[in-house]
């Protein structure tokens, strides 16, 4: 996020000695994008953030991915996915290509400390709540929140109700993840040349939340899992990575509620880019939120049949009604995949049914990828095989 934030205890000038009350010299860590030529954050650790005591490779199962062949539209019912585990190691891989991995967790446990060195992660909280704890502090998230976690941010997801203490047995937190191979940003066209969100953008700085803190945890011999393109490495650090006393800069995890996304409507149907929320490497994320329908008396409120010439279209249905697909089996927790090369559109009969309707209550997250997606085993396990034929069944 390009907006400056300052948290905790900092010296007046950068790169000057910052001592605690007993004159112990704290350690700087500059975390910077693109060779330190773009956004960065400067963190102050109580102890050296470089001190590792061990490093070992972690055996992991390779992703099992299946091409979408023969080419079919897919309906995947994510509410049939397994419940349990934590929001990191409990992710179930639904769809993936070289640019993005889409996974889903129904988490009941707190995750280990982790760091994804491959790219930024975008989380969407479908239901429940959690705390994203990181070197930057604590960020509380709940239903409807998007969370962007920058590449190589050491963090963990704290799930309420995990363990046997107070609150144990709470509802699981359901999170959809998009793990990018690269960075996830606000679309450039929403930003002024100097980085302010412009008038007319569907959200603004007041809607963005950053971490509170810092956490300042002192602990020795702490495990951190680091994911790279070569696999997962388990480090033991001499000191807890959350020993940060303060930081400032423009690089940190941030949250935006889908309920703060202001829809853009028109007299006739608006194209998908008006719903865009994020831009990733070779993919975009859009938010479809409750809104007034197109207001011309003759306007057709539901989408036209369409061909995504250059993208695979993934829609995650996460609230409200889904009038354009009523009768197809799509419902809360469904993902539809409408791939490049396939023409799709509203359910037969829904155009007529929609005429004159004033508004929609739908809530959905769309991920459009510019390269074809393959199916993960967890996605195939919850596939509705009847879906491809639902456009024809009423003809």
* Interstrand relation of 40-45 and 27-32 (parallel, antiparallel or unpaired): antiparallel
The pair of structure tokens assigned to 83 is 């419940």
Nearer to Fe ion, 86 or 313 (CB): 313
Task: Map residues 267-286 to x or -, x wherever contact with Fe ion holds by CB under 5 A.
Answer: --------------------
Residue 335 C-beta: closest distance to Fe ion, Å: 13
Residue 302 C-beta: closest distance to Fe ion, Å: 11
Nearer to Fe ion, 294 or 313 (CB): 313
Q: Which of 42, 35, 39, 48 is nearest to 9 (CA)?
A: 42
Q: Which single residue is written with the structure tokens 């997801």?
A: 157
DSSP assignment string, 169-218: TPPPEEEEEEEESS--B--GGGB-TTSPBPTTSS--GGGEE--B------
Residue 389 C-beta: closest distance to Fe ion, Å: 18
Residue 320 C-beta: closest distance to Fe ion, Å: 17
Nearer to Fe ion, 313 or 362 (CB): 313
Sheet with strand 65-66: strands edge to edge: 65-66, 374-376, 92-96, 100-107, 173-180, 121-127, 145-149, 254-257, 208-209
C-beta of residue 122 within 8 angstroms of C-beta of residue 278: yes
The pair of structure tokens assigned to 208 is 């963005």
Q: Which of 303, 301, 299, 297 is nearest to 354 (CA)?
A: 301
Among the residue ranges 102-110, 132-140, 241-249, 308-316, the one whose residues contact Fe ion (CB under 5 A): 308-316
Task: Map residues 310-329 to x or -, x wherever contact with Fe ion holds by CB under 5 A.
Answer: ---x----------------
How many residues touch Fe ion under the rule CB under 5 A: the total is: 1
Nearer to Fe ion, 185 or 340 (CB): 340
Give 5's strand partners. 249
Nearer to Fe ion, 222 or 315 (CB): 315
Among the residue ranges 25-33, 182-190, 306-314, 372-380, the one whose residues contact Fe ion (CB under 5 A): 306-314
Where does residue 261 rank: exposed (0-12), middle (13-18), buried (19+ CB within 10 A)?
buried
The pair of structure tokens assigned to 243 is 């020993």
Question: Cα-flanking dihedrals φ and ψ of residue 336, to 5°?
Answer: -110, 140
For 189, 199, 262, the CA distances from 292, given in Å and listed in that order, are 24, 20, 11
Q: Which of 287, 270, 308 is nearest to 122 (CA)?
A: 287
Task: Map residues 6-45 to x or -, x wherever contact with Fe ion holds by CB under 5 A.
Answer: ----------------------------------------
Residue 95 C-beta: closest distance to Fe ion, Å: 15
Nearer to Fe ion, 85 or 346 (CB): 346
Residue 313 C-beta: closest distance to Fe ion, Å: 5
Nearer to Fe ion, 234 or 269 (CB): 269
Nearer to Fe ion, 108 or 311 (CB): 311
Residue 303 C-beta: closest distance to Fe ion, Å: 6
Residue closest to Fe ion, measured at CB: 313
End-to-end, the C-alpha distance of the chain in Å comes to 49
Nearer to Fe ion, 156 or 275 (CB): 275
Residue 234 C-beta: closest distance to Fe ion, Å: 42
Residue 344 C-beta: closest distance to Fe ion, Å: 6
Among the residue ranges 61-69, 80-88, 113-121, 305-313, the one whose residues contact Fe ion (CB under 5 A): 305-313
Interface positions with Fe ion (CB under 5 A)? 313
């Amino acid at each position: 996020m390009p907006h400056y934030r300052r948290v905790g205890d900092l010296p007046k000038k950068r790169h000057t000695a910052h001592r605690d009350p007993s004159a112990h010299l704290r350690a700087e860590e500059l975390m910077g994008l693109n060779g330190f030529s773009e956004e960065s954050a400067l963190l102050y650790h109580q102890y050296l953030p470089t001190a590792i005591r061990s490093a070992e490779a972690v055996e992991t199962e390779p992703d099992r991915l299946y091409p979408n062949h023969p080419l079919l539209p897919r309906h995947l019912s994510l509410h049939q996915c397994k419940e349990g585990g934590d929001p990191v190691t409990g992710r179930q891989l639904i769809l993936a290509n070289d640019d993005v991995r889409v996974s889903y967790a129904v988490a009941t446990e707190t995750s280990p400390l982790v760091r994804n060195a491959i790219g930024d992660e975008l989380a969407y909280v479908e239901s429940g709540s959690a705390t994203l704890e990181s070197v930057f502090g604590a960020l509380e998230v709940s239903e409807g929140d998007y969370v962007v976690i920058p590449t190589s941010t050491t963090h963990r997801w704290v799930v309420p109700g995990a363990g046997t203490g107070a609150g144990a047995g709470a509802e699981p937190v359901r999170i959809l993840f998009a793990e990018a191979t690269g960075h996830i940003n606000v679309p450039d066209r929403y930003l002024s040349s100097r980085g302010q969100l412009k008038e007319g953008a569907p959200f603004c700085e007041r809607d963005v939340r950053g971490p509170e803190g810092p956490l300042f945890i002192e602990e020795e011999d702490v495990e951190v899992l680091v994911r790279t393109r070569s696999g997962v490495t388990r480090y033991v650090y001499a000191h807890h990575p959350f020993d940060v006393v303060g930081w400032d800069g423009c690089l940190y995890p941030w949250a935006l509620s889908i309920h703060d996304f202001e829809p853009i409507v028109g007299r006739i149907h608006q194209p998908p880019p008006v719903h865009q929320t994020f831009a990733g490497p070779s993919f975009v994320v859009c938010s479809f939120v409750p809104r007034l329908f197109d207001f011309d008396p003759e306007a057709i409120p539901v989408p036209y049949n369409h061909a995504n010439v250059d993208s695979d279209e993934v829609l995650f249905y996460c609230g409200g009604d889904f009038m354009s697909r009523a009768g197809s089996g799509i419902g809360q927790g469904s993902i539809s995949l409408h791939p490049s090369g396939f023409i799709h559109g509203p359910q037969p009969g829904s155009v007529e049914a929609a005429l004159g309707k004033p508004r929609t209550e739908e809530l959905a997250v769309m991920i459009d990828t510019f390269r074809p997606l393959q199916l993960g085993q967890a996605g195939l396990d919850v596939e509705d095989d009847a879906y491809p034929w639902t456009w024809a069944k009423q003809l």
